Amino acid sequence: MSDVTAVENLVQKHQALKTEIGKVIIGQEKVIEQILLSIYTGGHSLLVGVPGLAKTLMVNTIAKTLGLDFKRIQFTPDLMPSDILGSEVLDQNRNFKFKQLKLDEPYFVLATQNPIEQEGTYPLPEAQLDRFMFAIELTYPSLEEEIQVVKVTTNDETATVNTLFSSDEILAVQHLIRRIPVPDNVVRYAVELVTKTRPGIQGSLDFVNNFIDWGAGPRASQNLVLGAKANAAISGKFSPDIEDVQAVAPGILRHRILKNYKAEAEGITEEKIIRELL
């Protein structure tokens, strides 16, 4: 199969996938699209929203449509990496051996975070936030969407979703996205956009110097290009343009910009900063 045909197939499968997910999740199209873009590129996402917005249901539904297993881990302050990945155990000969817990490919982390209930928890360090390709904000549904949610969830019917992808097909899509060519001007635009978030460097904007303590690193540039490739592919384009970079920029940059106290005092949000840079 040629890459042109593969992109055309992805457009169709992507639309069908959103339709299947829409059987269970009402609205939130932009959120779902960013999650899927993250999966298509092999990235991970942080989903931020108040309780009751069906974050876990969304993750579970997407896993079913993609033909993947779903496991939920409740993170607590004392959770260690070895609790998930494995640890050294003492065998019958009294020798320590590392017991590795195999994680199947494709492996995708969609972490959910409640922005209002912070007691007993710790905010993620910037180094860990940077590991997520997208930080996705989940907002309240519109009035009509919430009416539809209530109708669907208070009856005796259970929606079923069909599996549209296999693991091998998802891996093939991830390789396809990597092979999509990117014009030099688009790469330059992505890197320059990330550079603009950094205060105190030559040519930095007064707006940035006034309100940002720390800007985005090179991983943001990489993710902007990968995200632009995926955004172009699901739109039926065989190469991304600057508009594709701009489309994915808010989700990729918002958790990589560290505001200062002045920005907090004046109510300057990450979204406002990104809009200013765009």
- Which of 145, 179, 213 marks a domain boundary? 179
* Domain of residue 278, CATH code: 1.10.8.80
In a domain, 158, yes or no: no
Contact 134, 45 (CB under 8 A): yes
Give the domain extent around 278: 183-278
Residues 138 and 251 in one domain: no
Q: Is the pLDDT of residue 87 over 90?
A: no
Q: Which of 1, 3, 40, 2 is nearest to 18 (CA)?
A: 40
Residues 175 and 187 in one domain: no
Residues 132 and 252 in one domain: no
Per-residue pLDDT tens digits for 9-34 = 999 999 999 999 988 888 888 999 99
- Which of 112, 145, 179 marks a domain boundary? 179
pLDDT at 119: 56
Residues 105 and 193 in one domain: no
- Give the residue, 226 or 157, on which the prediction is more confident: 226
What is the DSSP pairing of strand 110-113 with strand 45-48? Answer: parallel
Residues 49 and 122 in one domain: yes
Per-residue pLDDT tens digits for 203-261 = 888 888 889 988 899 999 999 999 999 999 999 999 999 999 999 999 999 999 988 88
Residues 35 and 52 in one domain: yes
Residues 30 and 142 in one domain: yes
Share of the chain above pLDDT 70, in %: 96
Q: Where are the beta strands (DSSP E) in the chain?
A: 45-48, 86-90, 96-100, 110-113, 134-137, 212-214, 258-259
CA gap 207, 142 in Å, rounded: 33
pLDDT at 89: 76
Contact 140, 41 (CB under 8 A): no
Q: Among 57-66, 89-98, 186-195, which is the least confidently predicted range?
A: 89-98
Number of domains in the chain: 2
